[in-house]
Structure 1
Amino acid sequence: MRETLPDESAVTIDPAAYEALPFSDRCGEIWRRGEHLLIGVSPGNSYFSHRRISELIGWGRELFERIDIVHADLHVEAQFEAFGYTAEHALRRAAKEVKTTARRIARGIEEAGGPDGVRAHALSDFAGHPAYRRLHRRTVDALRTDRVFREAAEGMARGFLAARMDEGLAPNEPQLAAGIRYIAAELPFFLDTPSLLGVPTSVSCYHLQLPLTPVLFGRDEGLRAAAGQGYAVVRPAAPSGPAPAAVMQPARAA
């Protein structure tokens, strides 16, 4: 367990406040190594309040040597354009959402006691990174050639876009294409975070199981995650009752 100096301003975290469900045995092995946790934050997602981010940091510090938070800021405006905004208005709306997200992350880090062992990045910070460019090219190629991957990516995009649409409506082709471009920009961190951040192994986490998870982490062909990349659903623990058997409890050795 990492040692941190007491900070009276930091949020106090119950170690049982969150539960983690690694997707596979291999993901569980990577989780238990406790080397790196990646928290991905999407603009406009109300789940990631500054309080939630602070809690996740405090909880993750008990388990991992290092935490990185990456917020998406690429292709956000394309989604607004696909929903009928003018290019200028779409840029303003996207910039506002991205700025709000960055402020939430900064406040969450501050309330968690500061940046000890925690770093924050915008996705665009990696646009020129050779590993990011290589992984993004692989993603784009797979969208053309890998039917299973393409269908899962479309399913993920539809779910993401549904939050911006009236109930019962489905995205049209331009909206779906914009959603897929947005997802493709994030996927390098689901494929190989170690090569992007220089860590031995990493677990990407989100509070939901994603349609792409079994594709990237559960098959032996096509586009899939690197050997050192894991994935886990990390969510608030149930208010009462025993934890499910698959849940990884905070038990990293000192």
Structure 2
Amino acid sequence: MSESLLSTTLATFTTHGPFEVRPFSDRCRSVFELGDHLLIGVSPGNSYFGPQRIAELVRWGHEFFDAVDIVYADLHVDAQFTAAGYTAEHAERRAAKEVKATQRRIQRGVAEAGRPGVGVHALSEFLPRATYRELHREVLHALGTDPEFRAATEGMARSFLRARQADGTAPAPDRLAAGVDYIAAELPFFLDTPALLGVRSSVACYHVELPLTPVLFGRTEGLRAVPAQAYAVVRPTAAPQVAAA
């Protein structure tokens, strides 16, 4: 990692109401300060995003941004269970159950927040859209041609899967491949949410920095986010730092 790239990851947190915020870079901070749009991504099985946390994020988001959208993953969830040894039928049932539980948590959180106009979208809603398909093709191309991008994506998949394995061991190759597919489906929103949701600029937030963040938001070549797309770590005030998962 270059010195200039490393320096973008060392910014301190600033307190914004009940949350601490750390945009990844000066450019990300500038986009954050525009206050156009906040994207909250929610993954099935992630206990961090309970109804109360979602409500807190939505209320906070409406205080600092003109618009808030939530996108939850519902693609390739069954592949994770298939790769873990479930039959195809059982994997499909487990995936459907987790996605429905995620939908319920989001619905409860948005209702509790009491803020009108929050967009809630399943990732699969974007499959028919040409903009999403083009961004997804760019991701798949980079996975095959960009070693740095591929390594960061696999690192993110390993962290994601290791946290969900009872023994904490490294995932088997087929499960890693399923994890990469799962992440690849989400990455268009890290590249260009403004094009996908029709907003001027957008900040994607998560409670930890992800292994892909320096690649998509810190380098000057290869696949990376558009200038109007930012990333920020947003976590409850005084929360301890934890590893990416």
Q: TM-score, normalization: structure 1?
A: 0.87
Corresponding position of 2:227? 227
Per-residue CA distance 1:134-167 (angstroms, 9 max, x = gap):
0000000000000000000000000000122133
Higher relative contact order (CA 8 A, sep 6+): 1
Alpha-carbon separation, structure 1, partners of 2:140 and 2:50: 31
Per-residue CA distance 1:164-197 (angstroms, 9 max, x = gap):
2133411111010000000000000000000000
Deviation at 1:227, TM superposition (A): 1.1
Corresponding position of 2:19? 18
Amino acid corresponding to residue 43 of structure 1 in structure 2: P
Q: 1:54-203 counterparts in 2 under 5 A?
A: 54-114=55-115, 116-203=116-203
Alpha-carbon separation, structure 2, partners of 1:67 and 1:158: 29
Corresponding position of 2:210? 210
Alpha-carbon separation, structure 1, partners of 2:169 and 2:35: 42
Deviation at 1:16, TM superposition (A): 2.3
- Note if contact 1:71-1:123 (Cα within 8 Å) is conserved in structure 2: yes
Q: Identify, as 1 or 2, the structure richer in helix.
A: 2
Amino acid corresponding to residue 165 of structure 1 in structure 2: Q
Alpha-carbon separation, structure 2, partners of 1:80 and 1:180: 14
- Residue 155 of structure 2: SS of its match in structure 1? helix
- Note if contact 1:65-1:117 (Cα within 8 Å) is conserved in structure 2: no
Unaligned runs of 5+ in 2: 1-14, 240-245
Per-residue CA distance 1:75-98 (angstroms, 9 max, x = gap):
000000000000000000000000
C-alpha distance 88-27 of structure 1, shift in aligned 2 (>3 A)? same
Alpha-carbon separation, structure 2, partners of 1:165 and 1:123: 24
The structure with the largest alpha-carbon Rg is 1
Alpha-carbon separation, structure 2, partners of 1:206 and 1:15: 15
Deviation at 1:111, TM superposition (A): 0.4
Deviation at 1:60, TM superposition (A): 0.9
- The number of aligned residues is 225
Amino acid corresponding to residue 132 of structure 2 in structure 1: Y
Alpha-carbon separation, structure 2, partners of 1:169 and 1:149: 23
- Residue 64 of structure 2: SS of its match in structure 1? coil
Q: TM-score, normalization: structure 2?
A: 0.90
Structure 1 runs, 4 residues or longer, greater than 6 Å off: none
Deviation at 1:15, TM superposition (A): 5.6
Amino acid corresponding to residue 214 of structure 1 in structure 2: P
Cα RMSD after superposing both structures: 1.2
Unaligned runs of 5+ in 1: 1-13, 240-254
Alpha-carbon separation, structure 1, partners of 2:87 and 2:215: 35
